[in-house]
Chain A
Amino acid sequence: MSLKQSYFRYRISFTKLGSTRFIGHLDLQSLFQRAIKRAKLPVAYSEGFNPHQLLSFAAPLPLGMGGFEEMLEIFLIYEVNVKEIVTLLQDQLPDGIDIVGVVEVPAIGRSAAAIIQKATYRITFSHNFDIRLEKIISDILTSESIKVEKKGKKGMSVVDIRPDIFEIVVDEDNSLRAILACGSERNLKANILAHHILGLSEIAQNDCDITYERLSIGQDVPKL
């Protein structure tokens, strides 16, 4: 840890869209490691027998979900202009991963992964709800608690997801934006909310495809 103080920490926000949505979290890490290497950024390595790059990701995205503002942190051994980081790194990233912001943050302090608490999702249903969607959402937002069944390690249990819902806005007849708890302490998966909404409607679960996108994960990195 002591060495880290002398490094320079950058928070980078990026998209994960198109075919890169199907790259899992560990693979995304290797993808960035190799990109950083090709970009010749002066990345710091951990000590020890099996040194690895000092980089960390916040809140892994579920496979298949598009991300518009995902986040990672890297430690560099000397300071590099943020614009230069963007130029060097962007060239090395596959289609679908675009850097949307970089900011330097103090080398000491909690990691992005540790501070993240909420995320904004867009949930799009393949079926039109007409006015019913507005109604369902306002019911959800005015209720005190929302009990849903959740599959856990010890079988099914009932949990209250209401405290994990911060805001829901209906954008169109079949699409909404939701700010939900996201992080190591509290977390609500977007599909749990979506299926709950569907359950309150008259649309059969099997008939309706749902698309999820994560618009941002809370920690604002200034846009380029």
Chain B
Amino acid sequence: MYPDKILLQAEKPGRYVGNEINMVRKNPTEVATRFAFAFPDVYEVGMSHNGLQILYALFNRRDDVYCERTFAPWSDMEMLMREHNLPLKSLETYSPLADFDFVGFTLQYEMTYTNILNMIDLANIPIKAKDRGEEHPIICGGGPCAVNPEPLAEFFDFFFIGEAEEAFDGVFDIYAKHKADKGDKMTFLSKIAVLPGVYVPAFYDVRYNADGSIDNFAPNNLGAPERVKKVHVKDMDRAFYPEKPLVPLIETVHDRAVIEIFRGCVRGCRFCQAGYIYRPHRQKSVDTLFEQAQKLLESSGHEEISLLSLASNDYPHLNELVDLLCERFTSENVSISLPSLRIDATNSEVLRKVQSVRKSSLTFAPEGGSQRMRDIVNKNISEDEILQGARVAFEGGWDRLKLYFMVGLPAEKDSDLAAIGKLSEDLVSVYYKLPKEQRRRPVSVTVSTSCFVPKPFTPFQWFGQETVENFMSKQRHVKQSIKSRQISYKYHDAETSVMEGALSRGDRRVAAVIERAWRLGARFDGWSEHFSADIWRNAFEESGVSLDFYAHRTRPYDEILPWDFIDMAGVNKDYLIKESQKVEDML
């Protein structure tokens, strides 16, 4: 543990002490491989992430691997650590990260990239792969942002593209043998480079054209494949799933048991990266889910079970599953939550059961205010369905609604923005059409708009993102379209979204910007109280990288994109071009 004196000066010392329920204890000297699972955000966020639970248990199920955890220290703790020369350590055995064989980062969000550099640095490990020697841990990464790993290529030894449950064992098997043979790092990397899902950036060279676009991207190592194939779990019922989740001792963002009802999504909303990169759609059977729920609740003591998926309406046995869970657990004061439930007239039943214990606000995500906009993004929900859904919710006793929209979508017009206000007002009127005795208090509707960020592997991956100024004028437009006092309007910071846009579609040259921003003090950029647009603008300027080129530029279809080398099972470029052209035809 860090000394008491340090911990007591930190805002929440409980973040740094571990010792959680179901924490895995092994003797580090008795395993072949020590893996530090690094979450580049604060403890409470990382511990609420289901992927951490899965990978932690998955890796630790092997006797020859000990997977420990580490999180980004909050800024107060970072200051203390630097002041007292304390390195970043794991929570399980309080070992410095430099002692590990691997440090593996989960890449959930572009705005955590500076935290990654900061954590490597706090571990006294050189941030760039080329500056690290045999004595340093191998640094790897995976997760949704790994579908375009290029902006991080310089810092990582390898990436794993896809779902670890399916194939990460191969990496451990090879490593155990490599370590026993006392091999060198490059030999190890060339051995794993042939495994499905593994991408070793050092084995590929990029050449650029005079205009800055990519001229050529090719392997420089005989074993490295031309294209890296994303791997995914084939059979969700047989896929590994934890039975004894870590239960934190301090409050986190979500303190609940989680079952994953399916992965992937059939809907194909064009802005939605998750919808494309998690394909194909694969679901679990009710039997499997019920059994997993039972085990998780028993071993955690949680009073909430959450049904995780991208869109729970699309689970065909939702009613049956919810019934079973209610029947078994309601008497034990366990509530069920369905974070991604879309409310419509067909599921009022489910809705009632799910919320029977605790009633919170309901969420709708029409994304586009007008039908035209929803057609462009392929969000298949009509105005009628939205209004119907709201009526169902109001009748069920909810009077707090949250609505999520995006601004800055392709081909957006002022009338589309005005439609956001109009739709929200119509929802308010739906409430006031209810008989008086059904209205307990004035309805409250919160409208939130995020700024659209075009992402790799979506039909909008070529689209030039709006500028900060345009986003802001669009936000003003939405605001003006809202008249009712029952509606409050919130919008996401445009500066953050533009930086996210530049990072998400960046290439290897963007690494210089990330490093510069980190050196200028950028940390926790996803947190509004920490984000500094000035730092990022300076970082672009000082590293001579054009923000415009990466964020706002519309790419031609025939340009080589930085992530083209990834074979995204079923989502090939031709298909995305066709989808994108469908939108062009609509205009």
Contacts and interface: CB of A to CB of B under 8 A. Distances in A.
Residue of B5, B255, B303 with most chain A CB atoms under a 10 A cut-off: B303
Contacts of B7: 22, 64
B19 interface: yes
Contact of B14 (A27, A36, A209): A27
Interface string B324-350: 000000001100000000000000000
B251 A37 contact: no
Given A50-B358, A96-B19, A38 B299 contact: yes
A165 to B, nearest CB: 25
B21 interface: yes
B320 interface: no
Interface string B350-379: 000000011000000000000000000000
Given A35-B301, A38-B299, A64-B13, A27 B251 contact: yes
A64 B4 contact: yes
B250 interface: yes
Contacts of A77: none
A199 interface: no
Contact of B13 (A22, A30, A51): A22
Given A18-B19, A22-B17, A34-B302, A63 B249 contact: no
A34 B251 contact: no
Nearest to B94: A19
A33 B16 CA distance: 22
Interface in B298-321: 298-303
A36 B13 CA distance: 25
A149 interface: no
Interface in A45-103: 45, 50-51, 63-64, 92, 94-96
B18 interface: yes
Given A26-B251, A51-B333, A19 B19 contact: yes
Contact of A31 (B249, B303, B332): B249
A26 B357 CA distance: 21
Contacts of A23: 14, 249-250
A45 B250 CA distance: 22
Given A38-B300, A51-B333, A209-B5, A30 B17 contact: no
B255 A30 contact: yes
Contacts of A26: 251
Contact of A27 (B18, B249, B357, B358): B249
B430 interface: no
A207 B301 CA distance: 45
Contacts of A33: 301, 303
A177 B514 CA distance: 54
A194 to B, nearest CB: 15
A34 B302 CA distance: 6
B206 interface: no
B301 A63 contact: no
A94 B20 contact: yes
Contacts of A187: none
Interface in B1-60: 1, 4-5, 7-8, 13-14, 16-21
Contacts of B20: 94
Contact of A34 (B4, B17, B301, B332): B301
Contacts of A219: none
Nearest to A45: B333
B19 A92 contact: no
B354 to A, nearest CB: 16
B428 interface: no
B19 A38 contact: no
B139 interface: no
Contacts of B358: 50
Q: Is the interface of B mostly helix, strand, loop or mixed?
A: loop
Nearest to B20: A94
B296 to A, nearest CB: 11
Contacts of B332: 37
Nearest to B300: A34
A95 B301 CA distance: 17
Interface in B241-287: 247, 249-251, 255
A18 B16 CA distance: 13
A20 interface: yes
A183 to B, nearest CB: 25
A184 B1 CA distance: 34
A38 B14 contact: no
B74 to A, nearest CB: 14
A160 B170 CA distance: 69
A22 B332 CA distance: 30
Interface in B399-431: none
A35 B251 CA distance: 15
Q: Which of A18, A24, A26 has most chain B Cβ within 10 Å?
A: A24
Contacts of A38: 21, 298-301
B250 A27 contact: yes
Nearest to A50: B358
B515 to A, nearest CB: 34
Given A30-B255, A94-B19, A94-B21, A22 B300 contact: no
Contacts of A96: 19
Contact of B19 (A20, A24, A36): A20
Nearest to A211: B4
Interface in B412-462: none
Contacts of B303: 33, 37
A92 B251 contact: no
Given A24-B14, A50-B358, A34 B21 contact: yes
Contacts of B299: 38
A19 B2 CA distance: 10
A27 B251 CA distance: 6
Interface string B213-230: 000000000000000000
B509 to A, nearest CB: 43
A5 B213 CA distance: 77
A126 B7 CA distance: 18
A204 to B, nearest CB: 16
Nearest to B21: A94
27 contacts: A18-B19, A19-B1, A19-B19, A20-B19, A22-B7, A22-B17, A23-B249, A27-B14, A27-B249, A27-B251, A30-B255, A33-B303, A34-B302, A35-B21, A36-B301, A37-B301, A37-B332, A38-B299, A38-B300, A63-B8, A64-B8, A64-B13, A92-B21, A94-B19, A94-B20, A94-B21, A95-B19
Given A23-B249, A94-B249, 17 more contacts: A20-B249, A22-B7, A22-B16, A22-B17, A27-B250, A33-B301, A34-B301, A35-B21, A36-B301, A37-B301, A38-B298, A38-B300, A63-B13, A64-B8, A92-B21, A94-B20, A94-B21
Which 8 A-B pairs rank lowest in CB-CB distance, beginning with the nearest? A34-B301, A37-B301, A19-B17, A22-B13, A38-B301, A19-B19, A27-B250, A64-B8
Interface of A: 18-20, 22-24, 26-27, 30-31, 33-38, 45, 50-51, 63-64, 92, 94-96, 209, 211
